[in-house]
Amino acid sequence: MFKKVLIANRGEIALRVIRACKEMGISTVAVHSTADMDAMHVRMADESVCIGPPPSNKSYLSIPAIISACEVTGAEAIHPGYGFLSENSNFVDIINDHGIQFIGPTAEHIRIMGDKITAKETMKALKVPCVPGSDGSVNSLEVAMNVGQNIGYPLIVKATAGGGGRGMKVANNKDDLENAFLTARSEANSAFGNDEVYIERYLTNPRHIEIQVFGDGKGNAIHLGERDCSLQRRHQKVLEEAPGPSISAEVREYIGNICSKAVASINYAGAGTIEFLYENNEFYFIEMNTRLQVEHPVTEAIYGVDLVREQIRIASGFELSLNQNELHPNGHAIEARINAETLPNFIPNPGTVTMFHAPGGLGVRIDSNLYSGYQIPPHYDSLIGKLIVHGRDRKEAMERLKRSLDELIIDGIDTTTDLFHDLLKNKDIIDGNYNIHWLENWLLDK
């Protein structure tokens, strides 16, 4: 087992990783920018190294600075958290060349899944159900038109280097296609420096259902069911839950087994999330994320498994600590993401937190880097905490979310907590009756 791990991240996820390391008897190294001298992750780690000025590309994204921090502290492995360098295959190659282990999959697997066409081809070959669409990349309007003839409309043009919603354009009919194709290509080129695009049938009202998987890198893998992450605004998730309100035990076993078999057969190592659109009781693969996700605690709550501990075990050459037949979901969990933003327009609102009081009690977890007196720097993501509740069933989880939101105190800045009070009163939310468009439509009507 590793003796010392460096956490190449900040905020609540850095704390999350430090906590797992502490329980495993592993020493921790925090890295931080000059804007994060007083950050909680720096206080909570055994050691810390300043790696540069506030902008991320000069600190949390600086590969030389992070490798230097490993060398001066003797850290053997890096946990990347999410965002920053977590899905950067070149980073993995470079640290491996320096004899440092990456707590995550191989550079090759990150590369395959980072290119959305090779990801889809790989999944298709492994019998994972995919959205009907073009055979690989579409290089001309002529080919695009042929795809439209074959699969019909509406369709969506997506950037191969995209993901997370950037570089996508919908065409409702063949007259729209030229514009969608050219716009998607030029947006892809300016956003990613790569104008390659592919085409899929556009699913009009799906849910976003994602399956948590884990591989040991030696041909064994498990799944830990699904999360319903349909409640999003501008491709930012707002609330996630597990189990999905629309998913039965039979459906979970069906899609879960497809996913665990797929990752086992490519010798995938570590945590992964296979994202699907789910419409009319059918799953359609869209992307795979090769990192630990923000919303992983809802899965931890219902399966009772520490996902970061499993990541560290696998990276250091151990087996997974559980088999599939030991994994049974229990109850229901919901995560509310708390952002330092002003409603109704979600404008980032960093500042000084004059008072922070975390809720507690049965089935309540708060993952947050806040403390009373903390000054939130303006340079980073506005996520300041996650409130995760667990109940015996969905109703109890929703009641517990309401109660714990009432207990939560964050003074001095505006936050998105009021949004959840409103959501919990809504009939569609109470009934679990929502899809990927529900939240944006509801915000428009409010």
Q: Considering only 158-166, 179-187, 414-422, 426-434, which stretch makes contact with ligand MV4 by CB under 6 A? A: 158-166
Which span sits near ligand MV4 by CB under 6 A: 17-25, 161-169, 178-186, 330-338? Answer: 161-169
For residues 141 and 174, the answer to whether their CB atoms sit within 8 Å is no
Give the integer Cα–Cα distance in Å for 271 and 199: 28
Q: Out of 208, 227, 291, 332, which residue is the one contacting ligand MV4 (CB under 6 A)?
A: 208
**Residue 360 is a binding residue for ligand MV4 (CB under 6 A):** no
Among 48, 73, 160, 232, binds ligand MV4 (CB under 6 A): 232
- For the record, the structure tokens of 341 come out as 């933003």
Q: In angstroms, what is the minimal distance from the CB of 138 to ligand MV4?
A: 14
Map residues 21-50 to x or -, x wherever contact with ligand MV4 holds by CB under 6 A: ------------------------------
Residue 340 near ligand MV4 by CB under 6 A: no
SS3 245: coil
Question: Residue 25: left (phi > 0), alpha (psi -120 to 50), or beta?
Answer: left
Report how many residues bind ligand MV4 under the rule CB under 6 A. Answer: 16
C-alpha–C-alpha distance, residues 437 and 442, integer Å: 9
212: left (phi over 0), alpha (psi -120 to 50) or beta: beta
Q: Does 203 bind ligand MV4 (CB under 6 A)?
A: yes
2-21: which residues touch ligand MV4 (CB under 6 A)?
none
Which of residues 59 and 230 has its CB atom nearest to ligand MV4 in the complex?
230
Q: What's the min distance (Å) between Cβ of 355 and ligand MV4?
A: 34
Question: Which one is catalytic: 291, 337, 365, 400?
Answer: 291
Contact 133, 200 (CB under 8 A): yes
The residue from 287, 295, 335, 367 that contacts ligand MV4 (CB under 6 A) is: 287
Q: How far is the CB of 14 from ligand MV4 (least distance, A)?
A: 25
Distances in Å between the Cα of 104 and the Cα atoms of 80, 312, 396 are: 8, 8, 35
Q: Distance (Å, rounded) from C-alpha 365 to C-alpha 389?
A: 6
Give the distance between the most distant pair of CA atoms in the chain. 62
Separation CA 182–CA 103 (nearest Å): 39
Told to check if 200 binds ligand MV4 by CB under 6 A, we report: yes
CA distances from 351 to 200, 348, 377, 384 (A): 43, 10, 7, 12
Q: How many contiguous H segments (helices) and E segments (strands) does the chain have?
A: 15, 20
Closest approach of Cβ 201 to ligand MV4, in Å? 6
Q: Per rule CB under 6 A, is residue 165 in the interface with ligand MV4?
A: yes
Residue 105 DSSP code: S
Q: How far is the CB of 288 from ligand MV4 (least distance, A)?
A: 11
Is residue 252 annotated as a catalytic residue, yes or no?
no
Q: Which residues pair with 278 in a beta bridge?
A: 207, 283
Residue 202 makes contact with ligand MV4 by CB under 6 A: yes
Give catalytic residues, as residue numbers: 291
Q: Which residues bind ligand MV4 (CB under 6 A)?
A: 131, 156, 163-165, 200-203, 208, 232, 235, 277, 286-287, 436
